[in-house]
Every structure is written in C-alpha cells, then in structure tokens.
Chains A and B, each alone.
Chain A
Amino acid sequence: MDFQVGIVSEGVEDVSVISDCVMVGIFSKLEWEETDWPQGLDIQGEIFFLSSCHHTCTSSLYSFFIHFSSCKSSSIFIQMIPQQESDFDHNYLKPYYGKLFPFADIFKWMTYGHDGKHPGCDQSYFGRREFSFTLKGDFYLRFQSFNNALELENSIKEKCPLKIDIGPVYTVDPAKRHAYAQGDNNVFAPVERELIFDIDMTDYDDVRYCCRGADVCLNCWPLMTIAIKVIDTSLRDDFGFKHILWVYSGRRGVHCWVCDGKARRLTNEQRASIADYYRVYKGNENSHKKVSLMGAALHPFLATSYTNVLKDYFEKILLTSQNLLATEERYEKILSMIPDESIASELRGKWQDSRRSSSAKEDINVVRWEQCKQLLQSGKHKAQGLRRCVEEIVFFFTYPRLDMEVSKHMNHLLKAPFCVHPKTGRVCVPIDPNQCDEFDPTTVPTLFQLLEELNNEGLRADVNGEWNGTSLGNAITLFRSSFLEPLQKACKEEIERSYNLKLQQSKNSVGW
C-alpha cells in the first residue's frame, strides 16, 4: 500500500496541535511495522497506540500518535492518506445496522403511543414523519417515510445511510406531499415536531484555549456539561417539560430532544421565544459587549443558573483547566471586559509583576480571580456597568450557547440518536442529565470497537438484541429506562384521555 505524506487542511486550520502529540497517520498495526518511512520525516520518541482523544476511524485502520518529547507548538499535523477508498460504510455500517442499531426502540419512540393497540390511536401518525438519509457520495434523500417498523428497518439496512436525520410529522405522508402542496394554500405542513436544541463546541472557540474547531477534550467538555445542566433544569422547572432526551452528537457537541406533547405542538414563534429566553451571548467580532446583564437584579432563571452551576464550574474547574488568567494575552481578554479603566490598570499592575512572586501553593488563576472579584465587588469604585461585571465575565465563559436556528423552525432536521459519526466513528449515545458530570466523550463506544466486541464474543442469539453484550448496552438501557418507558406511558395515558373525552362529547351531543 502506498502512502502519501501531505499536510491536511481539514476545514479551516491547516496546523493543529492535539495536546503534546502529533498524529502521524492512519494505518494498521501491521502496516506500521512494515512500512518504509518516507524520507525527510524525522520521527523520534515513543509510539503510542490509539488513546483518548482525536482519532478517526474511517476504515479498518488504527491511528497512531507519536509523542515529540520537547515539541510544544508549530507541530505539523500530518495525515497519511491511504490510496484506496474508505470501506466505512460497507464493512462497518452494514453490520452495525444489521446487528446493533436499535430499530425497535426508535420506532417505539417515534410512534408516541400510536401503535394501533388502542382505539384512540392514529394509525397514520408514524407514516407522516419525515426521515432523511445521507448516503455515500453525499447523496441526500429527503422526505423518506415508513408505515411500520419493518419498513424503516429494511430501508436503512438496504441503503446503509451515513447519517439518519429525523424531521417533523406532517399533515400528510411526506411521500404524497406533491399532491397537497399546491399554489398558495399549503396543505402540506408540519404539525408536530419535538422541541430541539443543538449545542456545538465551535461556538465557544473564543472562550477555550485547549482546542479549536472540531476538536474536543476533557478540558473543554465541561462547557457541554454546564449547558446540559442549565438547560435541562430550566426545561423542567420553568417550562414544565418532562420527557427530555440528551444525546452526544458524536464529535463536538450535544443535542436535546424535548418530546412532551405540548412541546411537539409548539408553533415556530413559541419555539423562537424559548430559544430567545435562553439567549444571553449576543453579537460577534463586529459588535462590542457580548454579554450584557443590566438591571438591578438578574432574572430568576439567570440567577439560579449562576448560583447553582456557572459560578462553581467557572471558579473550580474552568479557571484552572483553561488557564484563563495565567498569561498576559489571556488576562487582557478579561480585563477588556471591565468598563472601568482604573480597576483594569490596577489589576494589570498587580499581575504584570506577580510572575515572579506567586506562591507555588495556590493556582495563579484562582489567586488572580480573587483579586479581580474583590476590586469589582468592593463597591469602592462605583462606575456604571460595574455592578454585574463579575457575573458578566462568568456568563461569557460558561453560559450555554445555543444554535438559535435549529430550535426556531419546525421543519429543521436533526440527526437521530444511535447514528455513527463518520469522522470519529463514535456512536451518538444518550447522556443522562443527572449524571452528566461523569460523561466522557473520549470513552464513547466507537463503531470499530463495537464490531470487534461482537466478533470476539461470537454470534450470540440474544433476546434483547445483540447490543447487550457490547459497550452499547448501557446506552440502550439508559435510553429505555430514563426516557422511552416513561414517555410511552405518558403517551398512552394522553391517547386514552383524549379518546374518552371525545366519547363523552359525542354522547353529550346526542340529545333528545
């Protein structure tokens, strides 16, 4: 097999450092050992096998990292590109859809109780839901619909999509939409759609220093944990929603599906209002103040989020792990958020000297933050806009940043849980909001890993599905017990209730 050495420009950056390691290539273990290394490539140090973050599993290959012992920056990200095309979908997606993808669970979810077992069931419900498939070669099939679980399963197994998206439930079967979408009065329109949120780590690039772009690591992942905690709590306490599913997006973020009946029937305007309720960070490089908390008090939602989540995560985790005040470049960023120049100068003065004198005991970021807080909250300098400065800084670095467009429109498609992310090979597994502190994106099962497990265990006829013996087992159990089962129960109750109500009404109308 021939390899070319080239510089990869994945998206925007063409140089990338992943902690202290430089990723050298993607090839199998045997090939590594047998390869004649191209000339000019200077390799020193130990060779590690694939470890935590940053690997792609797009074919039957391992990634290797080489640790450059004293190399810190300006390392070059070299990717060895094998000549043949990746067999990702054939060798890996096919058996995944064949043995592991939980079709029955997805179907049960999407029927929302309309499985035909109760006279009040709407038999057409599932068939009016849109699915869309992204196929190899970037073919995109929209408006796919199915009448039952078997049709859904067969279609996916046959087409082997790289990605499955779920859309809304329409007034009629999407396959028949052309017959209805005529002229001005559009009778083909969405009627139900989960309330969804998409939180993506790239929107936080200006507040994390460990990674950029598509990368994530355990140092910046807490930003996602914060988002889950803040939003989940509010969805339940403020809006009264109960059936909420959080899913890892497979690479650099999380998705949220709110599935209560009330949520599914929200209009676009109502969705936009909820998204705006959650919006704090405004603006971009062109505007000035991005977090502006005016008023004598914070809205209860913001106050609760700050006290229960943001403050601690900022002070106890992010300050240190992101070294937010450790260097001049970084502390200047925070100083620029203080509207009072005299305070900023005072702090600058303290910090420019303290490089030498800082005590080894306490972390420099913590020390400096204390100094900063003291000055801002002392009340000594009573300048305008200073009142909430501390909170504004904390919000800027921690508060959730949602993609507004995803939530605002009923017809927005979103990736289905349990898909495999083509670039990382990771499965989009559910995240338990009550245990989200412990979620580790770097240990999420990958496709390759799962198939290996299956192969090693041998073929087992398992009543619950083959996933049981694999790392996927926990994910599916979580999906069922904490989300699907309570949801189904509630749906059945709702169907029964409205059926009985209709019966009652028709009885009343039959009068003498």
Chain B
Amino acid sequence: MEIVRPQSHRNLFSSNDAVSVPSLPLYRSAPPLEVRLEDFESFAIDRLRVLKGISDGLSRGKKPEEMEKLVKELWKVNMRHQHASEVLNKDIISHFVLRLVYCRTEDLRKWFLSMECALFRYRFRFLTPEAQRAVMDNFDLTCRAVNNVEFESIKEKLGQVARSMGQPSPTVDAIFYKVPFEEVPELVAGRKVFISQGYAYVAMNQVVSLVATLFRSQLSKTLILTNRKWTSSIREQEKHRLTPIVEALSSSYLGPDFSQPREYAEISLKDIDQVAKSSFPLCMRHLFDKLKEDHHLKHGGRMQLGLFLKGVGLNLEDALAFWRAEFSKKVGLEKFEKDYSYNIRHNYGKEGKRTDYTPYSCQKIISSTPGAGDQHGCPYRHFSEENLRAALSRMGVNSRAMEDVMDKVRNRHYQLACTLTFEALHGMTCDAGINHPNQYFSDSQKILQPKKDSSAQNLVTARE
C-alpha cells in the first residue's frame, strides 16, 4: 500500500470487480493501492467502531441471531463509502491499518484476533453459496469433500451425530468435508462432528466453524510477522507520518481492565466483611460466603475471588492475612504457607514469571466450567433455578425483582440479570450494564459511599 498526500486522488485499483461479486477478502497480502493519509485514519476508525460494537455485543451475552443482526447493521453503517466501488478497498485498507495498530502487544493482538474472527465468521454466513465456496477454495477445502463410497460407510454415524443435535439425518446428496480434527476445535469440543482416525467429518452447515478456524490461524501468524516488521523497520521509518496515528488509535478502545485499583475502592482487611455484604456481585458474594463456611476454596474459586479482591484494592499483605485466616482453620498454618501462599503472591505478580494478573471479566467468568467441588463461575448461568433464587433472596432481592431477574436468566442474558440485581439492591439504574465484577463493586461503592474526598479537595482548592 502506498500512502499519498491528501491532495492526490489517484486510485490504481480497478473498481469493476468489487461491484459484481460481493466477496469476503482474506487479507492475505496488502494490495497495491494508494491511500490518502486522511483515509488511512478515518477508515481505521470506522472499522474500529465495528469491532468495538462486536466486542460490546459479545460481552453483553448476545445470542448468535442477535449478533448476526448487529454485525450486519454495524457493517452497513460504518463501512460504506460514497463510491460503491470503493467499499472493498475500504474493507481491505482498514483491516491492514488496524493490523499495524493492534499487532504491538499480546493483549492487543488477542483482542484484534477475536474481533476480526467474529466479524469474519458472521460475514461469511451472509455470503451466497457461490461466494462461500470461493472462500473455501481459497483455503483448499473443496478438494476435501467426502466421496460417495466413504459416505456410505459412515452414513449411519453421521446420522447419529445429526440426530444428537436435533437435526435430521443427512440425505444422500449431502456434502461433508473430511479435515484433520485439529482444524475444527469448536465442533470437536461440542461433539458436533463424527471423528474417526484423526479426521472430522464436517457438514456443510458447519463449514463456517472450519473456515473461521483457518482464518484465525492465518491471521494469528501474520499478526506476529507484522509486529516484527513494525518493531524492526516501520515504526522508525514512519515516525513522522503514520506512527503517531497508529499509536493514538489503540488507546481508548479496550476499556478498563481493573488492573489498577480505583480511587474509591481501596479496602483493607477490616472492611471486607462489610463491603462483601453491600457491594460484591453475586458470584463473589457466593465465593466469599463459601470460603467463610468451608474455610476452603478450590483453585478456580481462589483465582476468581482472589483477583477480584486485588482489583478492589486489597494489597498483598492484607490478602495473605485474609486467606490465611480462613484456610488455616481447615488446613493449618503450616500447610497454608506451604501450599497456598505461593499462589496468592503469584497472583500479585510477585512470583514466577511475575505477570500481574488482571481480574476476570464477566465474559470470562460466564464461560468458565465449574466442576465437582467448585464454587466459581457465574451463578446466573451455573446455578439451578432454585439455588439461584435462594442465593438472590439471601442477598436481599425482593420477589418482584426476582422474577425479572429469573426471566433474564431463562433467556440466557446473564449479565443483564446481574445488572437487574444491582439495580434492585441499590435502588438506582445502571445504564452501562455490568461487564465486570469490579465494575459492579466500584459502581456500588460510588452509590453507597459518596465522595468523602471531595470535601478535602474543596478545602485544598479554597486555600489556593
């Protein structure tokens, strides 16, 4: 891509192809285009709006059908162009610019990869069958269709798989693709494919998953390469032109991750019992209560609660005292020091590779899989209805709010259920919606403990 000055309007790319077949670019290589500097930034921002919209939708637990509509809308609104022929160019250019922006750290790469893959996946579904096949050709997939002989030999098993998902058995003209199981991890995980001798048999309506995985692994590799190129040459070369734009683009879009404790929320050991009752979201309240009751939590629970407490401002020393006080009642002081204190210090970045771990977001907690003996996870998702009702009434949710909450749960809107709980308990609306347990906590504290500092602040300014 060649970046040109604002005055020039030249465009070398032939526009005819773009109109006839609405296609899905695979972004394999930067095309020979000239881009105006102002478009460089604005295209990227438009695409970023799409990706951010997807991210929001996912974290609010939107169902696939809702996400499909959302993506369609976001794309239509943000990615159009006055010249219809330019739409494809904008798509490609914006992707490549964002690649530069988001290749630079592990976290940025992870986020970009997730959002681009989600975007790709939904756009793929909108394509016509011909267009879909064109994409599959690009990934060398069409040659892996199962022939009739093989189909006959596994027809019964394929039928079993279909019926296990509530779908009808495949007909004789159904197309299946035989691919190494490694290429369809989601389908394997959900037992949605027949697997034999290391190969998964993917139905036509599951091809999205396959193509998405291939797209993802391709993009993942290129991001690393782009990062290397950025660090070794581009950043320096472009330091007066593109680099400042690139660096400005990424900062505001990921949202707070609560790795630094907020101002209102520094709590100490003596406060915990009190704030647990008033400001902990249900998931943390449950873990907290279980810990007090059993004087023990399994690993998943220790991580979820421990990192949350770090996020609310509990320092390492107080954290150690807190866990020690509980655990030593069950396993004794010595065993606590031996087996558990290391992990707590590890969470604060004081051991091992010294990563300062960030508290889990709702999305992460909802998608966890608590097993036997575990207490972590999202109660709105993981508890049975009766257990959830009991837990909510213990928290003080009244019966009318309870019904609204349970209704959300039945529709699998777990974060909205939590938001309603918050609203019921605090008597105030929470417009932003709950995305993170620490957000619940800090919002709660803001309501329950109005600024005590502001008076001191006023004093200072008055004196000046």
Contact = CB atoms under 8 A, between A and B. Distances in A.
Given A206-B372, A284-B371, A295 B196 contact: no
A405 interface: yes
B457 interface: no
Contact of B195 (A238, A297, A302, A303): A238
B160 A282 contact: no
Contact of A276 (B106, B190, B198): B190
Nearest to A240: B198
Contacts of A240: 196-199
Interface in B132-175: 157, 159-161, 163-166
Contacts of B185: 269-270, 272-273
Contacts of A298: 160, 164
Interface stretch (A93-101, A217-225, A286-294, A351-359): A286-294
B373 interface: yes
Contact of B387 (A206, A279, A286, A300): A286
Contacts of A36: none
B292 interface: no
A277 B382 contact: no
A241 to B, nearest CB: 8
A283 B371 contact: yes
B160 A297 contact: yes
A294 B375 CA distance: 25
B394 interface: no
A332 to B, nearest CB: 18
Nearest to A289: B384
Interface string B81-116: 000000000000000000000000110000000000
A323 to B, nearest CB: 22
B227 interface: yes
Contacts of B166: 294-296
Contacts of A186: 106
Given A238-B196, A298-B164, A273 B189 contact: yes
Nearest to A140: B342
Interface in B172-197: 181-182, 185-186, 188-191, 194-197
A279 B384 CA distance: 19
A284 B370 contact: yes
B353 interface: yes
Given A203-B372, A286-B383, A299-B161, A237 B186 contact: no
A404 B371 contact: yes
B197 A295 contact: no
Contacts of B191: 277, 299, 301-302
Contact of B160 (A138, A241, A273, A303): A303
A295 B165 contact: yes
A434 interface: no
* Most chain A CB inside 10 Å of its own CB: which residue of B199, B371, B382: B371
B379 interface: yes
Given A272-B189, A295-B166, A300 B371 contact: no
Contacts of B227: 185
A113 B54 CA distance: 48
Contacts of B106: 184, 186
A404 B372 CA distance: 11
A295 B195 contact: no
Nearest to B330: A12
Contacts of A401: 371-372
A279 B188 CA distance: 11
Contact of B197 (A237, A266, A270): A237
B353 A181 contact: yes
A286 B382 contact: yes
Interface string B188-232: 111100111111000000000000000000000000000100000
Given A181-B353, A287-B383, A282 B369 contact: yes
Given A284-B370, A284-B371, A287-B387, A277 B164 contact: no
B451 to A, nearest CB: 37
A288 B105 CA distance: 42
A289 B417 CA distance: 21
Contacts of A276: 188-190
A159 to B, nearest CB: 19
A80 interface: no
B374 interface: yes
Contacts of B374: 284
Contact of A273 (B188, B370, B373, B387): B188
B384 A300 contact: no
A425 B412 CA distance: 50
Nearest to B231: A185
A283 B194 CA distance: 25
Interface string B368-398: 0111111100010011111100000000000
A161 B387 CA distance: 46
A435 to B, nearest CB: 24
Nearest to A205: B372
Contacts of A382: none
A274 B194 CA distance: 13
A385 to B, nearest CB: 14
A300 B157 contact: yes
B10 interface: no
Contacts of B385: 288
Contacts of A302: 164, 191
Contacts of A239: 181, 195, 197-198
Nearest to B296: A12
Contacts of B198: 239-241, 262
Q: Which 7 A-B pairs have the closest CB atoms?
A: A240-B198, A288-B384, A273-B185, A276-B189, A297-B163, A295-B164, A273-B189
Given A276-B190, A296-B164, 20 more contacts: A181-B353, A184-B106, A203-B372, A270-B185, A272-B189, A274-B188, A277-B189, A277-B191, A284-B371, A284-B373, A284-B374, A285-B373, A286-B387, A288-B386, A289-B384, A297-B163, A298-B160, A301-B191, A302-B191, A404-B371
8 contacts: A240-B199, A273-B186, A273-B188, A276-B188, A276-B190, A277-B195, A286-B383, A287-B384
